[in-house]
Protein backbone atom coordinates (compact mmCIF):
# COMPACT_ATOMS: atom_id res chain seq x y z
CA UNK A 1 0.00 0.00 0.00
CA UNK A 2 1.05 3.63 -0.29
CA UNK A 3 1.50 3.88 3.44
CA UNK A 4 5.24 3.45 3.17
CA UNK A 5 5.65 7.03 2.00
CA UNK A 6 4.52 8.58 5.28
CA UNK A 7 7.09 11.09 6.47
CA UNK A 8 8.81 10.13 9.71
CA UNK A 9 11.05 12.00 12.09
CA UNK A 10 14.70 10.99 12.53
CA UNK A 11 15.33 8.14 14.94
CA UNK A 12 17.44 8.85 17.95
CA UNK A 13 18.96 12.28 18.14
CA UNK A 14 22.03 13.45 20.05
CA UNK A 15 22.37 11.42 23.20
CA UNK A 16 22.55 13.85 26.13
CA UNK A 17 20.90 11.78 28.83
CA UNK A 18 23.96 11.57 31.07
CA UNK A 19 24.03 15.35 31.03
CA UNK A 20 20.36 15.67 31.96
CA UNK A 21 20.11 13.44 34.96
CA UNK A 22 21.37 10.38 36.76
CA UNK A 23 19.92 7.18 35.48
CA UNK A 24 18.29 5.39 38.37
CA UNK A 25 16.55 8.16 40.25
CA UNK A 26 17.21 8.22 43.94
CA UNK A 27 17.63 4.95 44.80
CA UNK A 28 36.04 -3.73 28.29
CA UNK A 29 33.82 -5.79 26.28
CA UNK A 30 30.60 -7.66 26.66
CA UNK A 31 32.00 -10.90 27.98
CA UNK A 32 29.89 -13.24 30.04
CA UNK A 33 26.93 -11.77 31.84
CA UNK A 34 27.44 -11.37 35.60
CA UNK A 35 24.71 -11.69 38.16
CA UNK A 36 22.91 -8.62 39.47
CA UNK A 37 24.95 -6.08 41.35
CA UNK A 38 24.85 -6.69 45.08
CA UNK A 39 23.07 -4.21 47.35
CA UNK A 40 26.52 -3.13 48.58
CA UNK A 41 27.72 -2.46 45.03
CA UNK A 42 24.61 -0.46 44.22
CA UNK A 43 24.87 1.50 47.47
CA UNK A 44 28.51 2.34 46.69
CA UNK A 45 27.67 3.77 43.28
CA UNK A 46 24.49 5.53 44.35
CA UNK A 47 25.19 6.87 47.85
CA UNK A 48 27.60 9.14 49.68
CA UNK A 49 28.81 8.65 53.24
CA UNK A 50 26.09 9.03 55.89
CA UNK A 51 27.67 12.24 57.17
CA UNK A 52 27.51 13.75 53.66
CA UNK A 53 23.90 12.93 52.86
CA UNK A 54 22.50 16.21 54.15
CA UNK A 55 24.81 18.19 51.88
CA UNK A 56 23.91 15.96 48.92
CA UNK A 57 20.21 16.54 49.60
CA UNK A 58 20.87 20.27 49.77
CA UNK A 59 22.69 20.12 46.42
CA UNK A 60 19.75 18.32 44.84
CA UNK A 61 17.43 21.04 46.12
CA UNK A 62 19.71 23.66 44.56
CA UNK A 63 19.52 21.81 41.22
CA UNK A 64 15.74 21.61 41.41
CA UNK A 65 15.55 25.36 41.97
CA UNK A 66 17.99 26.20 39.15
CA UNK A 67 20.87 27.32 41.37
CA UNK A 68 23.45 25.33 39.46
CA UNK A 69 26.62 27.20 40.42
CA UNK A 70 25.92 26.64 44.11
CA UNK A 71 24.96 23.02 43.45
CA UNK A 72 28.24 22.41 41.61
CA UNK A 73 30.24 23.86 44.47
CA UNK A 74 28.47 21.59 46.97
CA UNK A 75 28.79 18.47 44.86
CA UNK A 76 32.41 19.18 43.98
CA UNK A 77 33.28 19.40 47.67
CA UNK A 78 31.86 15.91 48.21
CA UNK A 79 33.88 14.14 45.52
CA UNK A 80 37.23 13.62 47.33
CA UNK A 81 35.59 11.90 50.29
CA UNK A 82 33.21 9.86 48.09
CA UNK A 83 35.38 8.70 45.16
CA UNK A 84 33.20 5.66 44.37
CA UNK A 85 29.88 7.53 44.13
CA UNK A 86 28.71 7.70 40.52
CA UNK A 87 25.66 9.65 41.57
CA UNK A 88 27.86 12.64 42.35
CA UNK A 89 29.47 12.42 38.92
CA UNK A 90 26.12 12.36 37.16
CA UNK A 91 24.65 15.19 39.19
CA UNK A 92 27.73 17.28 38.44
CA UNK A 93 27.43 16.53 34.74
CA UNK A 94 23.77 17.50 34.78
CA UNK A 95 24.44 20.74 36.63
CA UNK A 96 27.36 21.79 34.44
CA UNK A 97 25.27 21.14 31.31
CA UNK A 98 22.80 23.76 32.54
CA UNK A 99 25.40 26.53 32.79
CA UNK A 100 25.80 29.25 30.15
CA UNK A 101 28.47 28.29 27.57
CA UNK A 102 31.15 30.64 28.92
CA UNK A 103 30.80 29.21 32.43
CA UNK A 104 30.35 25.63 31.25
CA UNK A 105 33.76 25.36 29.60
CA UNK A 106 35.58 26.59 32.70
CA UNK A 107 33.65 24.24 34.97
CA UNK A 108 34.30 21.26 32.69
CA UNK A 109 38.03 21.98 32.61
CA UNK A 110 38.19 22.33 36.40
CA UNK A 111 36.26 19.12 37.04
CA UNK A 112 38.29 17.20 34.46
CA UNK A 113 41.42 18.19 36.35
CA UNK A 114 39.81 17.19 39.66
CA UNK A 115 38.76 13.74 38.50
CA UNK A 116 42.01 12.97 36.69
CA UNK A 117 44.09 14.01 39.72
CA UNK A 118 41.99 11.93 42.10
CA UNK A 119 42.12 8.95 39.72
CA UNK A 120 45.94 9.05 39.74
CA UNK A 121 45.92 9.17 43.52
CA UNK A 122 43.43 6.28 43.83
CA UNK A 123 44.77 4.07 41.04
CA UNK A 124 45.56 1.23 43.44
CA UNK A 125 41.89 1.03 44.44
CA UNK A 126 40.13 -0.49 41.42
CA UNK A 127 36.54 0.58 42.12
CA UNK A 128 37.51 4.11 43.12
CA UNK A 129 39.75 4.39 40.07
CA UNK A 130 36.93 3.16 37.84
CA UNK A 131 34.45 5.76 39.07
CA UNK A 132 36.97 8.59 38.95
CA UNK A 133 37.87 7.56 35.40
CA UNK A 134 34.16 7.65 34.59
CA UNK A 135 34.06 11.21 35.95
CA UNK A 136 37.09 12.11 33.85
CA UNK A 137 35.30 10.74 30.78
CA UNK A 138 32.17 12.83 31.35
CA UNK A 139 34.25 16.03 31.54
CA UNK A 140 36.89 15.11 28.97
CA UNK A 141 37.74 17.95 26.55
CA UNK A 142 37.72 15.75 23.44
CA UNK A 143 35.77 12.65 22.30
CA UNK A 144 38.97 10.62 21.96
CA UNK A 145 39.89 11.43 25.54
CA UNK A 146 36.38 10.51 26.65
CA UNK A 147 36.73 7.12 24.98
CA UNK A 148 40.14 6.52 26.56
CA UNK A 149 38.77 7.25 30.02
CA UNK A 150 35.72 5.07 29.48
CA UNK A 151 37.97 2.19 28.45
CA UNK A 152 40.00 2.72 31.60
CA UNK A 153 36.88 2.86 33.76
CA UNK A 154 35.43 -0.38 32.41
CA UNK A 155 38.85 -2.01 32.51
CA UNK A 156 39.26 -1.15 36.18
CA UNK A 157 35.77 -2.43 37.01
CA UNK A 158 33.52 -4.39 34.70
CA UNK A 159 30.66 -3.89 37.17
CA UNK A 160 30.37 -0.11 36.85
CA UNK A 161 27.08 -0.17 34.99
CA UNK A 162 27.06 3.55 34.23
CA UNK A 163 30.48 3.41 32.58
CA UNK A 164 29.45 0.31 30.64
CA UNK A 165 26.34 2.13 29.40
CA UNK A 166 28.23 5.23 28.35
CA UNK A 167 30.88 3.17 26.54
CA UNK A 168 28.08 1.25 24.82
CA UNK A 169 26.60 4.55 23.65
CA UNK A 170 29.95 5.47 22.09
CA UNK A 171 30.20 2.06 20.39
CA UNK A 172 26.67 2.44 19.04
CA UNK A 173 27.41 5.86 17.60
CA UNK A 174 30.52 4.44 15.93
CA UNK A 175 28.39 1.76 14.27
CA UNK A 176 29.82 -1.04 16.43
CA UNK A 177 26.44 -2.55 17.12
CA UNK A 178 27.51 -5.96 18.39
CA UNK A 179 30.06 -4.51 20.80
CA UNK A 180 27.50 -2.00 22.03
CA UNK A 181 24.90 -4.74 22.53
CA UNK A 182 27.32 -6.82 24.60
CA UNK A 183 28.15 -3.90 26.88
CA UNK A 184 24.49 -3.04 27.36
CA UNK A 185 23.51 -6.62 28.14
CA UNK A 186 26.23 -6.72 30.74
CA UNK A 187 25.15 -3.41 32.29
CA UNK A 188 21.52 -4.54 32.42
CA UNK A 189 22.44 -7.85 33.98
CA UNK A 190 23.97 -5.80 36.79
CA UNK A 191 21.14 -3.27 37.12
CA UNK A 192 17.75 -3.91 35.48
CA UNK A 193 16.45 -0.41 36.29
CA UNK A 194 19.07 1.25 34.11
CA UNK A 195 16.68 3.25 31.95
CA UNK A 196 19.14 4.70 29.44
CA UNK A 197 20.69 1.28 28.81
CA UNK A 198 17.28 0.00 27.68
CA UNK A 199 16.90 3.07 25.46
CA UNK A 200 20.27 2.64 23.75
CA UNK A 201 19.69 -1.10 23.40
CA UNK A 202 16.40 -0.36 21.63
CA UNK A 203 18.25 1.95 19.23
CA UNK A 204 20.94 -0.69 18.63
CA UNK A 205 18.30 -3.29 17.80
CA UNK A 206 16.43 -0.88 15.55
CA UNK A 207 19.63 -0.04 13.66
CA UNK A 208 20.27 -3.78 13.34
CA UNK A 209 16.84 -4.31 11.77
CA UNK A 210 15.59 -6.23 14.82
CA UNK A 211 12.40 -4.25 15.22
CA UNK A 212 10.53 -6.71 17.45
CA UNK A 213 13.22 -6.71 20.11
CA UNK A 214 13.61 -2.93 19.69
CA UNK A 215 9.93 -2.51 20.55
CA UNK A 216 10.35 -4.65 23.68
CA UNK A 217 13.29 -2.58 24.84
CA UNK A 218 11.51 0.72 24.21
CA UNK A 219 8.69 -0.68 26.32
CA UNK A 220 11.16 -1.58 29.09
CA UNK A 221 12.50 1.98 29.02
CA UNK A 222 9.00 3.47 29.14
CA UNK A 223 8.07 1.28 32.07
CA UNK A 224 10.80 3.17 33.94
CA UNK A 225 10.23 6.57 32.31
CA UNK A 226 6.51 6.68 31.42
CA UNK A 227 6.48 10.48 31.02
CA UNK A 228 9.11 10.59 28.28
CA UNK A 229 6.95 11.84 25.43
CA UNK A 230 9.68 11.80 22.76
CA UNK A 231 10.51 8.14 23.31
CA UNK A 232 6.81 7.27 23.52
CA UNK A 233 6.36 8.74 20.04
CA UNK A 234 9.42 6.84 18.80
CA UNK A 235 7.99 3.62 20.19
CA UNK A 236 4.61 4.30 18.56
CA UNK A 237 6.23 4.97 15.19
CA UNK A 238 8.09 1.70 15.42
CA UNK A 239 4.81 -0.10 16.09
CA UNK A 240 3.11 1.65 13.18
CA UNK A 241 5.70 1.97 10.45
CA UNK A 242 7.94 -1.03 11.05
CA UNK A 243 5.79 -3.62 12.78
CA UNK A 244 2.38 -2.47 11.48
CA UNK A 245 0.64 -3.01 14.81
CA UNK A 246 -1.97 -0.23 14.92
CA UNK A 247 -4.03 -1.96 17.61
CA UNK A 248 -1.03 -1.91 19.96
CA UNK A 249 -0.20 1.70 19.10
CA UNK A 250 -3.75 3.06 19.38
CA UNK A 251 -4.18 3.30 23.18
CA UNK A 252 -0.78 4.97 23.52
CA UNK A 253 -1.54 7.51 20.80
CA UNK A 254 -5.02 8.31 22.09
CA UNK A 255 -3.59 8.87 25.55
CA UNK A 256 -1.03 11.29 24.10
CA UNK A 257 -3.75 13.10 22.15
CA UNK A 258 -5.89 13.45 25.25
CA UNK A 259 -2.98 14.99 27.13
CA UNK A 260 -2.18 17.43 24.31
CA UNK A 261 -5.03 17.91 21.81
CA UNK A 262 -3.92 19.26 18.46
CA UNK A 263 -0.29 18.20 18.87
CA UNK A 264 1.16 17.92 15.37
CA UNK A 265 3.35 14.86 15.91
CA UNK A 266 0.58 12.92 17.59
CA UNK A 267 -1.94 13.98 14.94
CA UNK A 268 0.33 12.78 12.15
CA UNK A 269 0.74 9.42 13.84
CA UNK A 270 -2.99 9.02 14.47
CA UNK A 271 -3.68 9.73 10.79
CA UNK A 272 -1.02 7.20 9.80
CA UNK A 273 -2.55 4.66 12.18
CA UNK A 274 -6.02 5.11 10.66
CA UNK A 275 -4.53 4.74 7.20
CA UNK A 276 -2.80 1.53 8.19
CA UNK A 277 -6.05 0.22 9.67
CA UNK A 278 -7.78 0.89 6.34
CA UNK A 279 -9.93 3.68 7.76
CA UNK A 280 -8.88 6.15 5.08
CA UNK A 281 -11.80 8.49 5.70
CA UNK A 282 -10.67 9.03 9.29
CA UNK A 283 -7.09 9.42 8.11
CA UNK A 284 -8.18 12.13 5.68
CA UNK A 285 -10.17 13.91 8.37
CA UNK A 286 -7.19 13.92 10.73
CA UNK A 287 -4.77 15.18 8.06
CA UNK A 288 -7.24 17.96 7.16
CA UNK A 289 -7.54 18.85 10.83
CA UNK A 290 -3.75 19.01 11.10
CA UNK A 291 -3.62 21.16 7.95
CA UNK A 292 -5.99 23.67 9.51
CA UNK A 293 -3.99 23.70 12.73
CA UNK A 294 -0.56 23.65 11.07
CA UNK A 295 -0.94 24.98 7.51
CA UNK A 296 2.80 25.48 7.02
CA UNK A 297 3.89 21.96 7.95
CA UNK A 298 5.12 20.17 4.85
CA UNK A 299 4.74 16.69 6.33
CA UNK A 300 1.00 17.23 6.62
CA UNK A 301 0.85 18.27 2.99
CA UNK A 302 2.86 15.42 1.54
CA UNK A 303 1.07 12.78 3.60
CA UNK A 304 -2.33 14.19 2.65
CA UNK A 305 -1.31 14.21 -1.01
CA UNK A 306 -0.05 10.64 -0.76
CA UNK A 307 -3.31 9.56 0.86
CA UNK A 308 -5.38 11.10 -1.96
CA UNK A 309 -3.09 9.60 -4.57
CA UNK A 310 -2.46 6.10 -3.21
CA UNK A 311 -5.44 5.22 -1.05
CA UNK A 312 -8.49 7.37 -1.77
CA UNK A 313 -8.29 7.59 -5.55
CA UNK A 314 -9.00 11.31 -5.52
CA UNK A 315 -6.70 12.51 -8.31
CA UNK A 316 -7.97 16.10 -8.40
CA UNK A 317 -7.34 16.56 -4.67
CA UNK A 318 -3.94 14.86 -4.91
CA UNK A 319 -2.99 17.16 -7.79
CA UNK A 320 -3.97 20.25 -5.81
CA UNK A 321 -1.89 19.23 -2.81
CA UNK A 322 1.15 18.32 -4.91
CA UNK A 323 0.88 21.57 -6.89
CA UNK A 324 0.73 23.62 -3.71
CA UNK A 325 3.64 21.66 -2.29
CA UNK A 326 5.76 22.23 -5.39
CA UNK A 327 5.34 26.02 -5.13
CA UNK A 328 6.73 26.25 -1.61
CA UNK A 329 10.35 27.41 -1.08
CA UNK A 330 12.82 24.77 -2.20
CA UNK A 331 14.98 25.13 0.91
CA UNK A 332 12.07 24.34 3.22
CA UNK A 333 11.04 21.34 1.15
CA UNK A 334 14.57 19.96 1.02
CA UNK A 335 15.01 20.30 4.78
CA UNK A 336 11.72 18.60 5.63
CA UNK A 337 10.82 16.16 2.88
CA UNK A 338 13.89 15.93 0.65
CA UNK A 339 13.37 12.40 -0.63
CA UNK A 340 9.71 13.11 -1.46
CA UNK A 341 10.72 15.74 -4.02
CA UNK A 342 11.76 12.96 -6.36
CA UNK A 343 8.24 11.78 -7.12
CA UNK A 344 6.14 14.95 -6.73
CA UNK A 345 6.90 16.46 -10.19
CA UNK A 346 6.26 13.14 -11.94
CA UNK A 347 2.97 12.67 -10.09
CA UNK A 348 1.88 16.18 -11.05
CA UNK A 349 2.54 15.42 -14.74
CA UNK A 350 0.76 12.08 -14.50
CA UNK A 351 -2.26 13.55 -12.75
CA UNK A 352 -2.53 16.48 -15.16
CA UNK A 353 -2.47 14.05 -18.07
CA UNK A 354 -5.07 11.84 -16.38
CA UNK A 355 -7.45 14.69 -15.57
CA UNK A 356 -6.97 16.71 -18.77
CA UNK A 357 -9.55 19.49 -19.03
CA UNK A 358 -11.07 18.38 -15.72
CA UNK A 359 -7.95 19.39 -13.79
CA UNK A 360 -8.81 22.13 -11.25
CA UNK A 361 -7.12 25.53 -11.26
CA UNK A 362 -3.89 25.57 -9.24
CA UNK A 363 -4.45 26.45 -5.56
CA UNK A 364 -3.51 29.91 -4.34
CA UNK A 365 -3.50 29.22 -0.61
CA UNK A 366 -3.65 26.19 1.63
CA UNK A 367 -7.34 26.90 2.20
CA UNK A 368 -8.01 25.88 -1.39
CA UNK A 369 -6.97 22.35 -0.37
CA UNK A 370 -9.82 21.92 2.12
Inform me whether the pLDDT recorded for 347 exceeds 80.
yes
pLDDT at 41: 85
**Model confidence at 84: pLDDT above 80:** yes
Q: Are 87 and 46 in contact (CB under 8 A)?
A: yes
Angle at 233 between CA 227 and CA 238, to 5 degrees: 130
pLDDT band at 40 (very low <50, low <70, confident <90, very high): confident
C-beta separation of 280 from 307 below 8 A: yes
Q: Is the pLDDT of residue 83 over 70?
A: yes
Number of residues written out for the chain: 370
- Above 50 in pLDDT, residue 2? no
Residue pair 250/282 in contact by the 8 Å Cβ criterion? no
State residue 4's pLDDT score: 32
How many percent of the chain have pLDDT more than 90?
80
The per-residue pLDDT of the chain, averaged, comes to 89
Share of the chain above pLDDT 70, in %: 88
Measured in degrees and rounded to the nearest 5, phi and psi for residue 362 equal -55, 140
User: Judging by beta carbons within 10 Å of its beta carbon (0-12, 13-18, 19+), is residue 4 exposed, middle or buried?
Assistant: exposed
Section 56-85 average pLDDT:
98
Structure confidence by residue, pLDDT tens digits, 256-302: 999 998 899 999 999 999 999 999 999 999 999 999 999 888 889 99
Taking the C-alpha atoms of residue 152 and residue 161, their distance in angstroms, rounded to an integer, is 14
DSSP structure class, residue 157: -
User: In this predicted model, what pLDDT tens digit does every residue of 348-360 receive, in sequence order?
Assistant: 999 999 999 999 9
pLDDT tens digits, one per residue of 109-147: 999 999 999 999 999 999 999 999 999 999 999 999 999
Pick 41 or 187 by higher pLDDT.
187
Predicted confidence at residue 343, as pLDDT, reads 84
The pLDDT of residue 296: 80
pTM over the 0.95 mark: no
Is 306's pLDDT higher than 80?
A: yes
Identify which of 185, 93, 179 has the alpha carbon closest to the alpha carbon of residue 134.
Answer: 93
- Is residue 8's pLDDT more than 60? no
pLDDT for the residue 319: 96
Confidence of residue 5 (pLDDT cuts 50, 70, 90): very low
The domain segmentation of the chain, as residue ranges, is 16-190, 295-370
Q: String of b and e for 295-329 (b: at least 16 CB within 10 Å)?
A: eebbbbbbbbbbbbbbbbeebebbbbbbbbbeeee
Residue of higher predicted confidence among 24 and 289: 289
CATH class of 16-190: mainly alpha
Amino acid sequence: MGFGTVIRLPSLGAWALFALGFLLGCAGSGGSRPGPASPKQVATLENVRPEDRALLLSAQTLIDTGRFVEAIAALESLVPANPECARLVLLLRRSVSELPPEQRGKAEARLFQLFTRLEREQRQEAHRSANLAFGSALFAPHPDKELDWLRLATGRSDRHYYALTKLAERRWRNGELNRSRGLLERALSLQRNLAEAWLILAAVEQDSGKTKSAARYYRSYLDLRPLDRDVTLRYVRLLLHDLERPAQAEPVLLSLEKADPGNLEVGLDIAAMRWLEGDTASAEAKYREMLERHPDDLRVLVNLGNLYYAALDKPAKALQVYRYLSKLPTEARLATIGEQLLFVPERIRRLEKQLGDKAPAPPKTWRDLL
